[in-house]
Chains A and B, each alone.
Chain A
Amino acid sequence: MLGFSFSFLLAGSNVLGIFPTGSRSFIFDRIFLVFLILGTIVGVIVISYMLILAYRYRENSATKKDDVDRPKLGELPPRTDDGSKLLKSLLLSAVVVIALVVWTYGSLLYVETQPAQIDGALTIEVEAYQFGFLFTYPDGYQSNGVLRAPVDRVTVLKITSRDVLHNFGSQDLRIKADAAPGMISETWFLAESTGTYDSACYELCGAGHSYMKANIIILENSEFEQWNKTKNNGS
Chain B
Amino acid sequence: MNKILQTDGGYSDGHGLPPMSSVKRWLVTTNHKDIGILYIITSLFFLVMGGVLALLIRLQLWLPRAPGEGLLSPFAYNQSVTAHGLIMVFWFLSPFAFGLANYIVPLQIGAKDLAFPRLNALSYWLYLISGILLGISFFQGGTFNGGWTVYAPLNLPTFTPQVGATSAVLALFIFSVAITSGSVNFLTTIHRMRAKGMTLFNMPLFTWTILLTVWMMLFAFAALLAALMILSADRILGTTYFSSTGTQGSLLWTHLFWFFGHPEVYIVFFPALGAMAEIFQTFTGKRIVGRKWFIAALVLVTVQSFGVWMHHMFLTGINLEVKTLFMITTIGISLPFDLMVFSLIYTLIKGRIQFTTPFLFAFGGLILFIIGGITGVFLGAVVLDYEFRGTYWVVAHFHYVMVGGVTGLVAGIYYWFPKITGRMYDEFLGKVSFVLYFIGFNLLYFPLFIAWETPRRVFTYAPSLIPWHQMATIGGFILASSFAVMLYNFYVSISRGEESGPCPWKYASTLEWSLPSPPPLENWEGTPTYENGKLEFLPDNIKTDGGEPTHER
Q: Which residues of A contact B (CB under 8 A)?
A: 1, 3-4, 7, 24, 27-28, 31-32, 35, 39, 42-43, 46-47, 49-50, 53-54, 57-59, 65, 68, 70-83, 85-87, 89-90, 93-94, 97-98, 100-101, 104-105, 107-109, 111-113, 130, 161, 163-165, 167, 169, 171, 174, 176-178, 180-183, 185, 200-211
In the assembled complex, the CB of B309 is this many whole angstroms from the nearest CB of chain A, namely 16
Q: Which residues 368-399 of B sit at the A interface, judged by CB distance below 8 A? A: 370-371, 374-375, 377-378, 380-384, 386-387, 389-391
Q: Are A90 and B342 within 8 A (Cβ)?
A: yes
- Give the distance in Å from the alpha carbon of A113 to the alpha carbon of B321 in the complex: 12
Interface residues of B in 120-160 (CB under 8 A from A): 145-147, 151-154, 159
Q: Which residues of A are found within 8 Å of B507, using beta-carbon distances?
A: 70-71
Choose from A32, A50, A76, A83 the contact partner of B384 (Cβ within 8 Å). Answer: A32
Q: Closest B-chain residue to A78, C-beta based?
A: B287
22 contacts between A and B (CB under 8 A): A1-B324, A3-B324, A28-B386, A31-B381, A35-B378, A54-B355, A59-B354, A70-B286, A75-B534, A83-B292, A85-B289, A87-B293, A97-B380, A104-B383, A161-B244, A163-B153, A163-B159, A165-B152, A178-B316, A180-B316, A181-B250, A207-B75
**Shortest Cβ distance from B245 into chain A, in angstroms?**
8
Q: Within the assembled complex, what's the spacing in Å between the Cα atoms of A167 and B317?
A: 12
Taking CB atoms, residues of chain A closer than 8 Å to B334 are 97
Q: Does B234 contact A (CB under 8 A)?
A: no
Q: For the complex, is B1 an interface residue (Cβ under 8 Å from A)?
A: yes
Enumerate chain B residues within 8 angstroms of A169, measured Cβ to Cβ.
Answer: 389-390, 455
User: CB of B302 within 8 A of chain A?
Assistant: no
Pairwise interchain contact B293-A73, C-beta atoms closer than 8 A = no
Are A180's CB and B317's CB within 8 A? Answer: yes
Given contacts A50-B366, A57-B350, A180-B250, contact A211 B67 (CB under 8 A): yes
Instruction: Kindly list chain A residues whose C-beta atoms are within 8 Å of the C-beta of B291.
Output: 77, 80
Do residues B457 and A74 form an inter-chain contact, with CB atoms below 8 A? no
Are the C-beta atoms of A77 and B202 separated by less than 8 Å? yes
Question: A66 to chain B: closest CB distance in Å?
Answer: 9
- How close is A213's CB to chain B, nearest CB, in angstroms? 8
Is B181 among interface residues, defined by CB-CB distance under 8 A?
Answer: no
Q: Are B285 and A70 in contact (CB under 8 A)?
A: yes
Find out whether the CB atom of B154 lies under 8 angstroms from the CB atom of A165.
Answer: yes
Whether the pair A98, B348 counts as a contact (CB closer than 8 A) is no
Residue B315 contacts which of A50, A107, A167 (CB distance < 8 angstroms)?
A167
Tally of contact residues, B, Cβ under 8 A: 105
B251 at the interface (CB under 8 A from A): yes
Q: How far is the CB of A187 from chain B (nearest CB, A)?
A: 8
User: Which residue of the partner chain, among B1, B315, B509, contacts A71 with CB atoms under 8 Å?
Assistant: B509
A86-B343, A94-B338 as given contacts; A73 in contact with B348, CB under 8 Å: no
- Chain B residue nearest to A98 in the complex (CB): B331
A86 with B293, Cβ < 8 A, contacts A93-B335, A104-B384, A174-B387 known: yes
Residue on B nearest A83 in the bound complex, by CB = B290
Beyond the given pairs A47-B367, A57-B349, 18 more chain A to chain B contacts, judged by CB atoms under 8 angstroms and listed by A's residue number, are A1-B325, A24-B387, A50-B367, A54-B348, A70-B352, A71-B281, A73-B508, A73-B514, A74-B535, A74-B536, A100-B381, A164-B153, A183-B248, A183-B250, A185-B315, A185-B316, A210-B458, A210-B460
Residues from chain B with a CB closer than 8 A to the CB of A83 are 289-290, 292-293
A residues within 8 A CB of B248? 180, 182-183
CA distance A86 to B536 in the complex (A): 33
Q: A54-B353, A58-B355, A182-B250 are in contact. Are A74 and B509 (CB under 8 A)?
A: yes
Contacts of A210 in B (CB 8 A): 67, 74, 77, 457-460
**A204 and B349 in contact (CB under 8 A), knowing A73-B503, A169-B455, A182-B244?**
no
Taking CB atoms, residues of chain B closer than 8 Å to A79 are 292
Taken together as a complex, chains A and B put the C-alpha atoms of A208 and B159 apart, in Å, by 12
Query: Contacts A86-B342, A104-B384; is A43 near B350 (CB within 8 Å)?
Result: no
Given contacts A72-B509, A97-B335, contact A206 B154 (CB under 8 A): yes
Contact with A along B300-325 (1 / 0, CB 8 A): 00000000000000011100110111
B159 near A35: Cβ-Cβ < 8 Å: no
Q: For the complex, what is the distance from the CA of A95 to the CA of B351, rounded to whole Å?
A: 29
Instruction: Pick the contact of A28: B323, B380, B384 (CB < 8 A).
Output: B384
Q: Is B530 located at the chain interface by the 8 A CB criterion?
A: yes
**Complex contacts, A163 vs chain B, CB 8 Å:** 153, 159, 244
Using known A-B contacts A31-B383, A108-B382, determine if residue A202 contacts B455 with beta carbons closer than 8 Å.
yes
B197 at the interface (CB under 8 A from A): yes
Q: How far is the CB of A93 from chain B (nearest CB, A)?
A: 4
Closest to A53 in B: B348
